[in-house]
Structure 1
C-alpha cells in the first residue's frame, strides 16, 4: 500500500491530488486499486509516504495507535471516498454467504469427448470448408453434431437429438437443441449430399499442409457394408460378395484411398455386386479430382485388382503400382520358392503398445521379370494359417463327398443328372481343395469315386506360407517394397474403425443419396479420429480413440446451484475441474482444457 500523486490540468491551472492505493493481482496482471482520495493535501515528505500509507490504512480501517498521531488523524478525517467506484478485485468480490447443505448440481452432461471432437473440427477448419461449399450456419452446425455423434457414440438420426441433448454440445456450441428433431437431420443429409466431393477435396488439402503429409503413396482397398431391409428404391443396394459374412442382405461396396499416414484422400460408393477390378478406373478419376495430382504417385492395391487391365489403367495415368499377385501366379516361381538361397529376413519390431509381442518371421527374395520386379515372400505365420485353412476345408469336403457316396449307394439319389449337379455344388463350395481330388460318377456301377491328385496337392503344400508382390518400381529394395505393401493394412484398420467404433453398418437408410451421405459422415468422423491419433503418434504415444474416449467421459459440464442467505440463488454453469489424465490428453492434442466460460445467473430462491 502506498500514496500516489496524480495531476490534472484544466486550462492553465494544474490540480494535484493524492490517492491511497494498493497493488493487487488480477487475471490481467498487477493493478492499482484506489482505497481513498486524500485531496490536495501535502501529506509529508515523499520519503515518508510508505510509512504514512500503512498508518493511514490502519486508521481508515478503524485501528488506533497507542500514541495518537495528529498528522495521520487529520489526513484520515480529510480523506474522502473516490468518485469512481473501485472495481471488485480478488476473492472478496465473489464472496457470498450460502446454505451449504442445500448446494446442488443440475444438468450434468458428458463433455470431454465432444470437446475434443469440436476442437479438432476447428483445427481442420471444417466450418470454413463447409461455408465455402455453400452451407448455411445452421447446416454447418448440424453437420458438426452429426459427425461428432459418429465419433463419440453413433446413433441413428431418429435417436441423435436425444444424444445431443445428453451431452454438453449445447454449451460448447452455444446453440439451443431442445427443439431439434430427426427430420431436420434427415434434411441436412440431403443438403450435404451434393457437396461431398468439394468438401473432401478441401479437407485433404488442409490436412496435407497441417500435418505435412506425403502425397506420393496411395493405399486403395474396398469393403462392403450391408443394409437392414430390402431397399427397393436404392439401385446401388445389391447382393454380392459380402465381407461382413451377410450374404442374406443387400449391400454397397465402399472404396477408400488413404495416404501413408492413414488420412483419407478419396472415397466412393459402388453397387453391392461390383467386382473389385471394375472399380479401379473410377476410383483413380475420383482420386485425381480430390488431390489434383496427375501421375507420379505409387498406388498400392490388393490381389483383387492385380489383373492386367487394372495395371494398365494405373500406368496410363502415369502412376506406379505395387500389387499382390494372384495365387496362381506363384506357380512360375515354385523352384525359386523352394530354393533356400537369396532370402533376406525382414526385421520387424514389436508394437510399442505390446513390447512383448512376438512377430512372425518374414523372408523376401527379389526376382526380375521383364519390366516388373517380383518380390517372393515367405511367412512362418502364413504357413500355419494356409495349412490350417486347407486342412479344415479338406475335412469338410471329404465328409460331404462321403455323404454323397452314401446317398448314391443307398439309392436315395439315382438320376445321373442330379448326381452331377451335386458334384458341381461340392466343387463350387470347396474351390480351395476340390482341385486336389477327382470326383466322378460311374453309371455302370452306380458309385461315386474320389481320387487324390497327389502331384497338385504336393505342389500346393510347397507354396504354403508364400505370396507374391509385383511392382514396376526398380528403384526400391525388396524390403522397401514389402513394407510399402504392408501399409495396406491401414486401409483395413480404417474399415474396422468405420464399421465398429463409428458404426457405419448396418445401414438403415433406403434412399441412395442418404446412404452415400451416411457413409460420407463416417468418413468425416474418421478424419477427426485419425487426426487425434496422429497427434499422439507424433508425441510417441501409441493409443486409440476408443481408449481416449473412455478416459474423457468423466470430464463434464454441470450447473452448480448455490442458495444464498439473502433469498437469491446463484447458478453457475461450468465444466468440472479436469483430472490429470484429461490435462495430459488436452496437452498432447494442443487444445484448451477449459470447455466453456462459466455462466452465472441469479434467480429468487424457491421456497421449500
Structure 2
C-alpha cells in the first residue's frame, strides 16, 4: 500500500493535485494496483507518505504502529480510516451463523480487538426512547428527518454520559455505539450539530412535553391525578454576565458565589415528569405557580384527567396564601405544608399531643398526626421525632460554630488585629447574620481601652480590648415545637394518615431533582447565552423522561435498583471489532457485540431489551 499524487487539468486550464491511496497485489497476469481512497487535500511532506501508508496498513491489520506517535501522521490516518470504503462487507444475523459457517485458517498471533464502544446503556436508553415514541414525537413537533438521529444521540447521551455539549459530541463520536444504533454518518458529524439540535429541541419544548405526557400516560396508565410541584436551581461556572437567566439568589447547593438558573418541575405520584419551566436564578418561588396551574388547565381542557379533579402538592416555599387561593379559584385540590411559624398557632395541641395518631415514616421514626377542620379546609398537625432530632442536632451544631467564631474574633481583638469599633461591629454583624437563630440568644458587650474617647495626637483613641457575650434567660417549654409542622389540604374526606401520606409523596420530586443533578448533568452550567442554558436544562429533563420510565418499569417488576446502578452493571456490555489475519494474507475485521453476562441478560429481560446490531465482516489484503 502506498500513496501517489496525480495532477488533473480542469476545463478552465487550472491544475489540481489529488492524492490516491493505492494497494498493489499480484495476479496471474502480473502485478496490479487498486485505488482504495482519493484525498483532495494532504498537507503532509512527501517523505512521510510511506509512513502514513504503513500506519493505515497496520490499522487495517489491527496492530499498533510506531509512526502513530507522529501527530500529523496520526491525524491523516484517522481521517482515512473514517472515510475508507470497505472492499467487501458481509452482514449475518446471529440466527444464521450455524447454518452458514464461514471457516478460514487464521494466525492466532494476529488476533486483536479495536474500536471498542459502549453498548449496554445505549440499548436500554434506545428501548425506552422507542417505547415512549420519541422519534415520532420529535418529527411531529417539526424536527427535520436528518436531525432526528442526532437528537436521539444527544438525548440518550445526557441519560448515559451527561456533560457539556462538547463532551457529548466527543463521547458520541469516540466512545459510544450510538453511531451504529442511530445510523449517524460519523464523517459528517460535527460538534455544531449538537448545539443546533439542542436549540431545535428547546424551540418546540411545549409540544414535546405535552406529547411525552400523553405517551407516558398510555404506557403507564394510572387512576391517580396527583401532581407534585417544586422548584430548584443550579449554578453557573464563570460569571455568565451576558446570560439573562444568570442571577444571584438563594442557592439550593450553597453556591452563593455563583449566578444561578432555576428549574420548576411538575411530576406525578410515581415520579414521571409532566411539565417543566426555566426561570432566572433570582425568581420568587411563589410566582412560578401561576404558570404551572395554567399548564395543568390546558391538560384538563384536553380531557387527559378523565374528569377527575387533580391534586397539586407544594412545599412551604411556594404555598403562600395567595397561591392557595389560586388553587381554589382554579378548582384544584391541594396539599401544602404551612410556613414554619404556623405551628406556634397550635402550641397547645403540640404541648399535650392529645388525640394524636401515631404513624411511622420511611426511616422508622414515629410521627404523631392530628386532623382539625377549619372552615372549608382541613389541617393536619404533625409532630415528628426524626425531624425533632434533626432540628435539635442542627441547632446544637449552629451553636457550636457560633461560639467558635466568637472565640476567633476575641483572639483577633486580643492580639490587636481587629480593635476599631467599626471593624469589630462589622465582624459581629457577619456572625449574627450567619447564625441568626443562635445569635438572638446572646447579649454582646465591648470593653474599651482606658483612653477611649480622648483626643491624642489629632486622633481619637478607639480601641476595643475585649468582647463579652452573655446568654439570655432561656425560654422554657418551647421544645415541643421542634419537629412540628402543619399540613393544609382541601381533601376534607381523607384521614390524617392519608393526608400525611399524600404530602410525603413530595419526596418523589426531591428525588427527581437529585437525579437531574447527579445523574443527568444539570449542574453546573457553562453556557453564556440564555437560550443555550435553557436548552441544556431541557435536555436533562428529556433524559429524565427516559430515566423515570426505566425505574418505574423496574419497580413494577419488584426491582428497586436505580438507573445509576443499572447503568454500571451493563457498562461492560460492548461493541467491538475483532481483527484476524488468514494464511492467505486476508485481514478480517469482524464487528460484533459482546455476549451479555448473566446479570446483564436478566436486566435486559426485565426491560424488554434486544440488541438490533448485526455481525459485520470487512476484509482487506495485508501487505
Q: What TM-score range do you get, normalising by the shorter chain?
A: 0.7 to 0.9
Q: Which residue of 2 aligns with 1:392?
A: 397
Q: Which residue of 2 aligns with 1:323?
A: 336
Give 2:615's match in structure 1, choosing from 588, 592, 598: 598
Q: Distance in 1 between matches of 2:473 and 2:319?
A: 29
Q: Distance in 1 between matches of 2:401 and 2:517?
A: 31
SS at match of 1:305: coil
Q: Which is further off, 564-573 or 101-110?
A: 564-573
- Describe the superposition over 1:131-189 as per-residue Cα deviations: whole angstroms up to 9, x where unpaired: 00000123221111111111111122122222112211122122222442211211222
The alpha-carbon distance between structure 1 residues 404 and 568, as it changes in their structure 2 partners (threshold 3 A), is closer
The alpha-carbon distance between structure 1 residues 458 and 188, as it changes in their structure 2 partners (threshold 3 A), is same
Give 2:606's match in structure 1, choosing from 567, 579, 588: 588
**Aligned: 1:280 with 2:289:** yes
Q: Which residue of 1 aligns with 2:490?
A: 472
Q: Which residue of 1 aligns with 2:384?
A: 379
Q: Which residue of 1 aligns with 2:153?
A: 145
Using CA pairs under 8 Å that are at least 6 residues apart, name the structure with larger relative contact order, 1 or 2: 2
Q: Which residue of 1 aligns with 2:130?
A: 122
The alpha-carbon distance between structure 1 residues 138 and 405, as it changes in their structure 2 partners (threshold 3 A), is same
The alpha-carbon distance between structure 1 residues 90 and 387, as it changes in their structure 2 partners (threshold 3 A), is closer
- Describe the superposition over 1:297-344 as per-residue Cα deviations: whole angstroms up to 9, x where unpaired: 111111112221121122121112111111111111111111133222
- Describe the superposition over 1:376-418 as per-residue Cα deviations: whole angstroms up to 9, x where unpaired: 1122221211111112222333455567788889996565x77
TM-score, normalised by the number of residues in structure 2: 0.75
Q: Which residue of 2 aligns with 1:79?
A: none
Give 1:511's match in structure 2, choosing from 491, 515, 529: 529
Note the C-alpha offset of 1:222: 1.1
Q: Which residue of 1 aligns with 2:274?
A: 265
**Aligned: 1:211 with 2:220:** yes
Note the C-alpha offset of 1:287: 3.7
1:239-254 matches, within 5 Å, as: 239-254=248-263
Q: Distance in 2 between matches of 1:442 and 1:289?
A: 66
Q: Is the 8 A contact 1:563 1:605 kept in 2?
A: no
Q: Which residue of 2 aligns with 1:542?
A: 560
**Aligned: 1:340 with 2:353:** yes
SS at match of 2:245: coil
Q: Distance in 2 between matches of 1:90 and 1:303?
A: 63
**Aligned: 1:98 with 2:105:** yes
The alpha-carbon distance between structure 1 residues 322 and 419, as it changes in their structure 2 partners (threshold 3 A), is same
The alpha-carbon distance between structure 1 residues 333 and 435, as it changes in their structure 2 partners (threshold 3 A), is farther
Note the C-alpha offset of 1:452: 4.5
Q: Which residue of 1 aligns with 2:593?
A: 575
1:153-232 matches, within 5 Å, as: 153-165=161-173, 166-214=175-223, 216-232=225-241
- Describe the superposition over 1:524-558 as per-residue Cα deviations: whole angstroms up to 9, x where unpaired: 11111111111110011110111111111111112
The alpha-carbon distance between structure 1 residues 146 and 95, as it changes in their structure 2 partners (threshold 3 A), is closer
Q: Which residue of 2 aligns with 1:108?
A: 116
TM-score, normalised by the number of residues in structure 1: 0.77
Q: Distance in 2 between matches of 1:385 and 1:91?
A: 64
Q: Distance in 1 between matches of 2:426 and 2:369?
A: 43
- Describe the superposition over 1:485-519 as per-residue Cα deviations: whole angstroms up to 9, x where unpaired: 11111111111111111111110011111111100
* Rg larger in structure: 1
The alpha-carbon distance between structure 1 residues 442 and 241, as it changes in their structure 2 partners (threshold 3 A), is same
Q: Distance in 2 between matches of 1:550 and 1:537?
A: 18
Stretches of structure 1 that go unaligned for 5 or more consecutive residues are: 1-88, 350-357
Q: Distance in 1 between matches of 2:324 and 2:296?
A: 16
Q: Distance in 2 between matches of 1:290 and 1:239?
A: 33
Q: Is the 8 A contact 2:119 2:571 kept in 1?
A: yes
Q: Which is further off, 251-260 or 208-217?
A: 208-217
Q: Distance in 2 between matches of 1:321 and 1:90?
A: 61
1:413-428 matches, within 5 Å, as: 424-428=429-433
Q: Distance in 1 between matches of 2:322 and 2:528?
A: 34
SS at match of 2:100: helix
